[in-house]
Chain A
């Protein structure tokens, strides 16, 4: 199969997205110059640890950032021929839940506790399709049955607290897919669920995606979810993209030391180990990103160049980019050293 993505216009195209939080005298640069595309029908994963900017990226796409947060001028989020960043209030509301919808992490708190779930699914049709109450309810029951909820007509009359976590997540998926959107952003959709339910929900998402041709932006910290559902992966660290590659390529040949660390931190069946590997240190504060490479202090390969120069995104292979100076001095990978945070810790 030839690469179709190069010939067709991507569905979503983000260029130099910067979302900053202005808190008095300090500015947290939570998302700091992120650019990527999502093609029609494609599933793209964004992976990274807490505070790397992945959720803020997701909220920025739907302009759900609240003050003191702000999408900085110059950022572009092109979607279906429009720039979402500069869209008027009413126009962006027509995109939300209609062309782009979102699935949240906590299915309990993402549902209004005082209305039945059927009411809440129906509300989406009321907002965007302008249909009657009765028609909206019928569509809601239909959407609920699509997500595999047994006896959807009865379930629709129940309140969120009467449903299990997995059922609630199916309700959220029904709400998200109600208007058959072009893009679904799933922010940690399975994190709050039991492991057995996680697999069911992921299967459901993938199945519905195939059925409707929806694109999915899967945001997670779980590499297992990435491997199972996505075709392309974006690794974020400290507000920027540090690596992007096709999913097989990334798992086979991770280039960035951070990605490598993430892979190494995963538990493996068969690997005999008592403790999980960790990446030493923590993410620097978003109010004061280091000048050079933001991963330098935690990196086992860093050298003086990493302190001086913020690495650009180097082209590693076809569709594979990495924000690491190792691209120009690959032989340094053979000589790891204890990361700076560990050395400082030992000295202190």
Chain B
């Protein structure tokens, strides 16, 4: 098993490239006001400059409100990445806590918690989110992050529980008990640090998953609300004329695919690095 730092050092060449691509996207997103050529919400000429195809002036074209799509995609990266990252933080916290408690408590508590989890896992996440989000006409980004996080921890908590169960059988845990370590010390010093590797993998893949979900929900019109830009709602804006306004779904779509692909490459390389020990 490896610590995260040594894990990143053990990443494959492809994963390092992927990490560099992700870093580039993140930097562009972070410095959006400096990088974007236009204000993403500005509608300079709603009659004359709307629905323009890609050109030197507007590399990604403009939308039906005459807004610059490139600028919106850059600002959208900001929101889409932030939502993916923050929502994953929420699900990580919940999933690790729930799984660790279930696995370490064992017996009846574990059985009960796992049956509850089975019930939660039986609900399709997308349908659940649609049901929740459709109840609000206008949802803040914070609430969206919260709901994405609240519905994203079920699978992870199972992984964590399994790891904890396997670890409590490990001889070094018995050894720690034989040396007089308390339950709290064993949980904090011996169990959690050994969970970091599977958690790092799950988190990387989790961010990718949430990004796709956000795009999907925004495309359905119940994710990030206007005039805020996210990759999903840019696609949504052009969705009633997909055939003519092809640039509106192609560019944000490509970026989403690129980001998710890079995250998956990193995640899988991390998993390989950890499994190799």
Contact = CB atoms under 8 A, between A and B. Distances in A.
A85 interface: no
A177 to B, nearest CB: 12
B218 to A, nearest CB: 40
A175 B177 CA distance: 13
Interface stretch (B85-93, B153-161, B179-187, B253-261): B179-187
B250 interface: no
Contacts, number: 70
A104 B176 CA distance: 11
B172 A112 contact: yes
A62 interface: yes
A96 B185 contact: no
Contacts of B107: 67
B179 A64 contact: no
B175 interface: yes
B172 A93 contact: no
Contacts of B193: 112, 114-115
B177 A112 contact: no
B172 A127 contact: no
Interface residues of B, number: 22
B179 A106 contact: no
Contacts of B241: none
A127 B186 CA distance: 12
A123 B181 contact: yes
B171 A93 contact: no
B190 A112 contact: yes
Contact of A110 (B1, B171, B189): B171
Interface string B52-86: 00000000000000000000000000000000000
Contacts of B182: 93
B174 interface: yes
Given A104-B171, A161-B277, A62 B178 contact: yes
Contacts of A123: 176, 179, 181, 189
B3 interface: yes
B170 interface: yes
Q: How large is the interface on A (under 10, 10 to 19, 20 to 34, 35 or more residues)?
A: 20 to 34
A27 B1 CA distance: 37
A95 B180 contact: yes
Contacts of B176: 112, 123
Contacts of B180: 93-98, 124, 127-128
Contacts of B171: 104, 106, 109-110
B53 to A, nearest CB: 55
Interface in A93-147: 93-98, 101-102, 104, 106, 109-115, 123-124, 127-128
Contacts of A172: 175
Nearest to A175: B179
Contacts of A124: 179-180
Contacts of A93: 180-182
B239 interface: no
A64 B174 contact: yes
B175 A96 contact: no
A270 B178 CA distance: 43
A310 to B, nearest CB: 33
Contacts of B163: none
Interface in B1-21: 1, 3
A96 B177 contact: yes
B175 A104 contact: yes
Nearest to A127: B180
B40 to A, nearest CB: 45
Contact of B179 (A96, A109, A114, A115): A96
Of B172, B177, B178, chain A has the most CB atoms within 10 Å of the CB of: B178
Given A101-B178, A109-B172, 13 more contacts: A93-B181, A94-B180, A96-B179, A97-B179, A104-B178, A109-B170, A109-B171, A110-B174, A112-B190, A114-B1, A124-B179, A128-B180, A175-B175
29 contacts: A62-B178, A64-B177, A93-B180, A93-B181, A93-B182, A97-B179, A97-B181, A104-B171, A104-B178, A109-B170, A109-B172, A110-B174, A110-B175, A111-B172, A111-B175, A112-B172, A112-B176, A112-B189, A113-B172, A113-B277, A114-B194, A114-B196, A115-B189, A115-B193, A123-B179, A127-B179, A161-B277, A172-B175, A175-B179
**For the complex of A and B, 7 pairs with smallest distance between CB atoms:** A97-B179, A96-B180, A97-B180, A109-B171, A102-B178, A110-B175, A93-B180
Interface of A: 59, 62, 64, 67, 93-98, 101-102, 104, 106, 109-115, 123-124, 127-128, 161, 172, 175
